[in-house]
Amino acid sequence: MEEGYQSIADRVKKEYKIYISAFSVLILSELIGEIEVNFGPGMLILFPLFYGIIIGVLLGPDLIGFFKNEEVEAASPLVLVAIAPFIVNIGITAAQDLPLLISVGPALLLAEFGNLFTVLIALPLALFLGLKREAVGATHSINRETNLALITNVYGPNSPELRGTLAVYIMGGLFGTIFFGFLASLVASTDLFHPHALAIGAGVGAGIMMAAATTSLAHIYPAYADDILALGGAGDMLTGMTGLYAAIFIALPLANKIYQLLEPRIGRKKKSTVKKEETDYEA
C-alpha cells in the first residue's frame, strides 16, 4: 500500500487519468443500465459493475493500451478505497437484520467448511488433467489475496504451488465477478436451496464476488433482498476472519493428503515440472 507519494497533489498528478477514466466509465456503465439475458436455466444479469470491469480491462496495457503498467498498479489500492463504503453499507443493513444473523449463526459459521468441497472436487480433477504440485495451491481455497500471501509464505515465491494459486487468483480477478453472478442465478434456478443458504454461500471471501452474487440473488428474490445482503456480507466478514486459519489448519493439510493419495493413481505419467522437491512441503 505504500506508494510513496509526496503529497495529495503528487498523487493526483500521477493518477488523474485513472480518476477521469473511472468516472467516465461509471457514467457510461450507468447509462447502459441493467440487462437480463436468459441463459439456459439460469439468468445472466448484467450490472453496471460488470461493464466497468470489462471496459477497464479493455483499456489496459495488454489490450488497447490506454493505461500503462504503473497506472494499472496504482489502481489496485483504489479498489480497496472504493469497496469500503459498500462494505459499511452492508454492515448497516446487517444491523437491521441482527436477529436473523443470530438465528442463522451456526449455518454462517459452518458454511466455511464448504471450502473443503473445493479440495475434494477440484483437486482430483486438477490431478486428472495432469497438474502436479500446482494443483495443491490452485485448489486449496478460492485463492484470494490472503491465500496468495499464505501460499507465498508456506511454499515460497518460486514454488509451483504459488503458480497454481496465482492462476486461480488471476482467473478470479478477470472472470470471478461475472462468473459468480451467473453461478448464483444458475444455482438459484434449481430451487433446491433457500435464499438464505444461497446468500450465505455468496460470502466466499472476495468482496466483489460476494457483491456480484448477492446482487443477482437480490434481483431474483426481491422479497429477501435485505436478508440476502446481510447474510452475504456477514458470511464474507466471517470468511475474512476465519478463512486464513481454515486454510492453514484444515484445507492445506487435506489437500496435501489427497495429493499423496491420488497423484500416483490418477496423475498423468508426464514428469512433474517440480522434480523431486515434492516431499518438503510440510516443513
Partner 1 sequence: MKLKEWAFLFGFIAIGIITTNLIGYNTPITDSLMGVLILCSIAFIAVCVSKIIPLRLPMIIYCSILGLLIASPVSPIGDFVSDAAGNIDFKAPLTMVGALAGIAIGASVREFTKLSWRIVVVALVVMASTFIGSVIIAQIVLNITN
Q: Which of residues 187-226 bind partner 1 (CB under 8 A)?
A: 187, 192-194, 196-198, 200-204, 207-209, 211, 213, 215, 218
Angle CA 56–187–121, to nearest 5: 90
Name the residue among 136, 144, 156, 143 with its Cα closest to residue 262: 136
Q: Any bridge partners for residue 38, and if so which?
A: 43
Q: Which of 35, 37, 82, 261 binds partner 1 (CB under 8 A)?
A: 82
To partner 1, the closest distance from the beta carbon of 132 in angstroms equals 11
Name the residue among 141, 123, 122, 167 with its Cα closest to residue 259: 123
Q: Rounded CA gap, 201 and 198, in Å?
A: 5
Site for partner 1 in 58-77 (CB under 8 A): 58-63, 67, 69, 71-73, 75-77
Residue 235 within binding range of partner 1, rule CB under 8 A? yes
Q: Looking at beta carbons only, is 215 or 256 nearer to partner 1?
A: 215
Site for partner 1 in 99-158 (CB under 8 A): 103-104, 106-108, 110-118, 120-122, 125-126, 129-131, 134-135, 138-139, 141-143, 146
Are 77 and 3 in contact by the 8 Å Cβ rule? The answer is yes
In the shown chain, the binding pattern of residues 171 to 190 toward partner 1, with x for contact by CB under 8 A and - for none, equals xxxxxxx-xx--xx--x---
To partner 1, the closest distance from the beta carbon of 19 in angstroms equals 6
Binding residues for partner 1, rule CB under 8 A, total: 134
The 3-state DSSP class for residue 149 equals helix
Angle CA 144–146–152, to nearest 5: 100
